[in-house]
Amino acid sequence: MKDRKNMQEVLEANPNWMGFIFFEDSPRHCSSDVYEVIRSIDGATKVGVFVNADAKEVIERATACELDIVQLHGEETPEVCAKIQEHFPIMKAISIQNVDDLEKTKNYEDCVDYFLFDTKDKQKRGGTGKQFDWNILQSYSGQVPFLLSGGISQNDVQHLLSVDHEQCIGFDVNSCFETQPGMKDANMLNEFISKMKEA
């Protein structure tokens, strides 16, 4: 989310969490003029997304925006995660293409609170609109809870309900609900969330 009016529209759909990207190379980058709006958000857990940022910068921005969780979507080391975790809960994104990619989680089990399993892409860091093979999730045996991400659309409700893993705590939706990068179709989101909660 990056537009103050759109944030309020989406909040009416009652999402559990809401994400804000602080990676300047992203078309979804959240500028400083909406930090005040982010601080005022009530009713959704606020997640800030950073990519290979310095730990000090992450902590400062997360504090300024009163974020609840920090999502790290780059090649951050376990040491960097541990440093930031002293101040904020950490969600570490792991790009998935095959079962072997799950091995990366073992390096982070002691320094993160959540994983985000997203689709691996050579050009983009998330927001690809593409799905990986969700059957791969059955090979994850770690104890850190995770969210599933990558190309989830309003047509995936039944497919999502079939995801049966005790550590899966939610689903991250993004590009398939956008009218343009960083702008969400609130009506489409509301319909999707309602279907998920009714199921």
Residue type at 73 in one-letter notation: H
DSSP letter (8 states) at residue 16: S
User: Model confidence at 6, in pLDDT bands (50, 70, 90)?
Assistant: very high
Model pLDDT for residues 36-67, shown as the tens digit of each residue? 999 999 999 999 999 999 999 999 999 999 99
Q: What is the mean pLDDT of residues 85-110?
A: 97
Residue that is written with structure tokens 């609900």 in the block: 177
Report pLDDT for 54: 95
- Contact 170/16 with Cβ under 8 angstroms? yes
Report pLDDT for 69: 98
Report pLDDT for 129: 77
User: Model confidence at 14, in pLDDT bands (50, 70, 90)?
Assistant: very high
CATH numbers and ranges of domains, the chain = 4-198 (3.20.20.70)
Rounded Cα gap, residues 70 and 79, in angstroms: 15
Q: What is the DSSP string of 124-189?
A: -SS-------GGGGGG---SS-EEE-SS--GGGHHHHHT---TTEEEE---GGGEEETTEE-HHHH
Whether the per-residue pLDDT at 158 is higher than 90: the answer is: yes
- Give the residue among 72, 128, 117, 124 at the shortest CA–CA distance from 95: 117
Q: Is the alpha carbon torsion for 151, 152, 153, 159 positive or negative? A: positive
Q: What is the mean pLDDT of residues 93-103?
A: 96
Averaged pLDDT of the chain:
95
Rounded Cα gap, residues 168 and 30, in angstroms: 28
Report pLDDT for 199: 80
Beta bridge partners of 147: 116, 170
Higher pLDDT pick, 166 / 199: 166
- Contact 168/137 with Cβ under 8 angstroms? yes
Query: What are the residues whose beta carbons fall under 8 Å from the beta carbon of 11, sequence distance 6 or more?
Result: 18, 41, 43, 44
Q: What is the mean pLDDT of residues 2-8?
A: 94
pTM comes to 0.94
Model pLDDT for residues 102-157, shown as the tens digit of each residue? 999 999 999 999 999 999 987 666 556 789 999 999 999 999 999 999 999 999 99
